[in-house]
Chains A and B, each alone.
Chain A
Amino acid sequence: MIRIRRVVTPLLVALASLAVLTSCAKREAEIKIGEYGSLTGSTATFGISSKNGIELFVDNLNAQGGIAGKKIRVLVEDDQSKPEEAATAVNKLIAQDGVVAVLGEVASSRSLAAAPICQSAAVPMISPSSTNPRVTEIGDYIFRVCYIDPFQGMVIAKFARSTLKFSKAAVFRDNKNDYSVGLANYFSESFKGMGGTIVANEAYSEGDQDFKAQLTVIKGKKPEFIFIPGYYTEVGLIARQARELGLNVPMLGGDGWVSDRLLEIAQDALNGSYFVNHYYEQDPNPLVQNFVLNYRKRYNATPDGLAALAYDAAGVLTNAMQQLSTEDPKAFEALSGPPNEDQKAARAKLRGLIAATRDYPGVTGRISLDEHRNAVKTAVFLGIENRSYKFVATVEP
Chain B
Amino acid sequence: MQEFFQQLANGIAWGSIYALIALGYTMVYGILRLINFAHGDVYMVGAFAAYYLAKALGVGGIGSASPLLAAVVLLGSMAICAGLGVLIELLAYRPVRRSSRITALITAIGVSLFLENAGIIVFGADPKFFPQVIAPRTIQLGEGVLVTNHQITVVLVSLILMIALTLFIQRTRTGKAMRAVSFNRDAASLMGIHVDRIITITFAIGSALAAAAGFLVGLTNPKIEPLMGIMPGIKAFVAAVLGGIGSIPGAMIGGLLMGISEYMVVGYLSSTYRDAIAFVILIIVLLIKPAGLLGRNVAEKV
Contact = CB atoms under 8 A, between A and B. Distances in A.
Interface of A: 40-42, 44, 80-81, 175, 202-205, 209-210, 212-214, 216-217, 219-220, 233, 237, 240, 244-246, 264-265
B89 interface: no
B60 to A, nearest CB: 12
Contact of A212 (B10, B129, B144): B10
B22 to A, nearest CB: 17
Given A203-B271, A245-B146, A213 B217 contact: no
B110 interface: no
B270 A203 contact: yes
Interface in B238-273: 262-263, 266-267, 270-272
Interface in B1-49: 2-3, 6-7, 10-11, 14
B146 A40 contact: no
A216 B221 contact: no
Contacts of A245: 6, 146
14 contacts: A44-B126, A81-B125, A175-B272, A203-B271, A203-B272, A209-B223, A213-B263, A216-B3, A216-B7, A219-B6, A233-B127, A237-B222, A244-B138, A264-B129
A213 B136 contact: no
B107 interface: no
Interface in B184-230: 217, 221-223, 225, 228
Contacts of B67: none
A362 to B, nearest CB: 29
Given A213-B263, A244-B138, A244-B148, A220 B126 contact: no
A209 B221 contact: yes
Contacts of A214: 266-267, 271
B125 A202 contact: no
Given A41-B125, A217-B3, A233-B223, A204 B271 contact: yes
A265 B3 contact: no
B267 A217 contact: yes
Given A203-B270, A210-B221, A216 B127 contact: no
Contacts of A175: 271-272
Interface string B112-151: 0000000000001111010000001010000010101000
Contacts, number: 70
A219 B2 CA distance: 11
B16 to A, nearest CB: 13
Contacts of B221: 209-210, 237
B223 A246 contact: no
Chain B interface size range: 20 to 34
A40 B125 contact: yes
Interface in B65-124: 124
Contacts of A210: 14, 221
B219 to A, nearest CB: 12
A264 B148 CA distance: 20
Contacts of A41: 125-126
Contact of B136 (A40, A244, A264, A265): A244
A190 to B, nearest CB: 24
A248 to B, nearest CB: 11
Given A209-B217, A237-B221, A246-B146, A216 B271 contact: no
B223 A40 contact: no
Contact of B3 (A81, A205, A220, A233): A220
Nearest to A267: B132
A150 B8 CA distance: 39
Contacts of A202: 271
B9 to A, nearest CB: 9
A44 B120 CA distance: 14
Contacts of B146: 244-246
B64 to A, nearest CB: 15
A42 B271 contact: no
Contact of B7 (A40, A81, A213): A213
Contacts of A265: 129, 223
Nearest to B220: A210
A217 B148 CA distance: 18
Given A40-B125, A44-B126, A245-B146, A213 B222 contact: no
Contacts of B124: 40
A81 B227 CA distance: 13
Contacts of B262: 213
A213 B267 contact: yes
Contacts of A203: 270-272
Contacts of A80: 125
Given A209-B221, A216-B10, A246-B138, A42 B127 contact: yes
A240 B220 CA distance: 10
Nearest to A237: B223
B149 to A, nearest CB: 10
**9 A-B pairs with the lowest CB-CB distances in the bound complex, closest first:** A213-B266, A209-B221, A40-B125, A213-B263, A220-B3, A212-B10, A216-B6, A44-B126, A213-B267
Contacts of A213: 7, 10-11, 262-263, 266-267, 271
Contacts of B148: 244
Nearest to B268: A217
Nearest to A216: B6
A231 to B, nearest CB: 11
A44 B138 CA distance: 32
A375 to B, nearest CB: 30
A149 to B, nearest CB: 22
Nearest to A245: B146
A11 to B, nearest CB: 22
A144 B74 CA distance: 49
B225 to A, nearest CB: 8
Contacts of B223: 209, 233, 237, 265
A264 B124 CA distance: 18
A46 B14 CA distance: 31
Given A210-B221, A244-B138, 14 more contacts: A80-B125, A209-B221, A209-B223, A213-B10, A213-B11, A214-B266, A214-B267, A216-B3, A216-B10, A217-B267, A237-B222, A240-B222, A246-B138, A265-B223
A298 B21 CA distance: 46
A197 B74 CA distance: 47
